[in-house]
Amino acid sequence: MDYRKIGLIFGGKSAEHDVSIMSARSVYKELLNTEFEVIPILINKEGFWIDLETSKKVIEGEIDHTKTVSSKFQTVFASLVNNFPKDIDLVFPLMHGPFGEDGKIQGFFDVLDIPYVGAGTAASAVSMDKIYSKNIINKYNLPQTEYITISEKDWAKSDDEQVLKLKRKITEKISYPLFVKPANLGSSIGISRVTSEDEVGLAIDLALKYDNRILIEAAVEGREIECSVLETAEGCISSLPGEIIPANDFYDYDAKYFSDNTVLMTPADLDDKVVEEVRYLAEKTFQLLNCSGLARIDFFLDHENNILINEINTMPGFTPKSMYARMWESSGLDYSDLLQKLIEIS
């Protein structure tokens, strides 16, 4: 498809607002020197669509995104009607987390019949929800970590006896250490590594600040492996895997975006058989969840070389440090060509 005018949507209401801005700045800078006309469109933390002039100043770093004003509009809808350009050929929704990566913005553009980069409405929603995606992966017997789930409603009405039952269930099915995560969030926000029963309650309370459903899953002693997947006209293809070597116990938000101590290896130093299996599972997961455009699939590799699917990211980070682009670059596809292919396939 011959797209020329691209709406680059960034920001959003989620806790990953700042990450989205970092991703968008990187993509915007790269696309400026192409044949495309790129129109930055900022959605602020309150969900208001910011005017194009201000959006451009934010993405170019001229003004702080926290200074954007939405008070002139009484509703989000009014801000959208006034500020969304009417002649966009394609949307690149570079937003991470809820309201950006969970199918909501994708459904909106489906209604408007505007094509966009990335997974569709249903695939975005299912992939973003760690519980739904794990249930599907479990149904098809792909390897993943053991897990249990709990809702805010169940936790709120839990008495001491029910809390003890939950802790026994954790010990029987998972054991320690383990991770407690919000069902719908990325960039390791709201995640706790729990090493004992005494820490479970606080970790659940933290995760419930970000979502009303949480996932409790086994921690895997081993290596953190990632693989990029890209849709092409002939089907999906996968990159050489990469490896995250965090300086801390796990790859949290600060380690991902601000730490100089985290080591990102692209490609990862893996046996050929492991590389082949990681790529197979990445492509299989992409297809199973009906993804399109792009995704990054995260894995664990334990000490016995067992590969376990961790999670799926349908709009992975696009900052200079981001693994998605780095893994493609180590596989022979540079950043500029990667963006070109994403736009062409959308």
Q: Which of 14, 16, 26, 239 is catalytic?
A: 16
Options 228, 292, 322, 346, the catalytic residue: 322
Using CA atoms, how far residue 170 sits from 34, 66, 135, 218, in Å, is 53, 41, 18, 9
Tokens matching residue 82: 């006034």
Rounded-to-integer distance, Cα 100 and Cα 196, Å:
34
Indicate the annotated binding residues.
130, 179-181, 187-188, 217-224, 298, 310-311, 313
CB of 150 closer than 8 Å to CB of 166: yes
Binding residues for ATP: 130, 179-181, 187-188, 217-224, 310-311
- With a CB cutoff of 8 Å and minimum separation 6, the contacts of 343 are 3, 6, 36, 90, 92, 117
Q: What share of the chain is helix, strand, coil (3-state, %, to 5)?
A: 40, 25, 40
Q: Beta strands 222-232 and 235-238: pairing type?
A: antiparallel
Q: Are strands 222-232 and 294-302 parallel, antiparallel or unpaired?
A: antiparallel
- Whole-angstrom Cα Rg for the chain: 20
Q: Tell me, yes or no, if 70 is annotated catalytic.
A: no
**Single-letter code of the amino acid located at 152:** E
Q: Is 16 a catalytic residue?
A: yes
**Residue 178: how many other CB atoms lie within 10 Å:** 26
- If you ran DSSP here, which 8-state letter would residue 15 be given? T
How is residue 318 annotated by DSSP?
-
What CA–CA distance (Å, rounded) separates 346 from 344? 6
Instruction: For residue 49, give both structure tokens.
Output: 């669509």
**Three-state secondary-structure class, residue 40:** strand
Q: Which of 20, 55, 127, 187 is catalytic?
A: 187
Q: Compute the C-alpha angle 58/322/24, nearest 5°.
A: 20
Examine the residue annotation and report whether 23 is marked as an active-site residue of this protein. Answer: no
Active site residues: 16, 187, 322
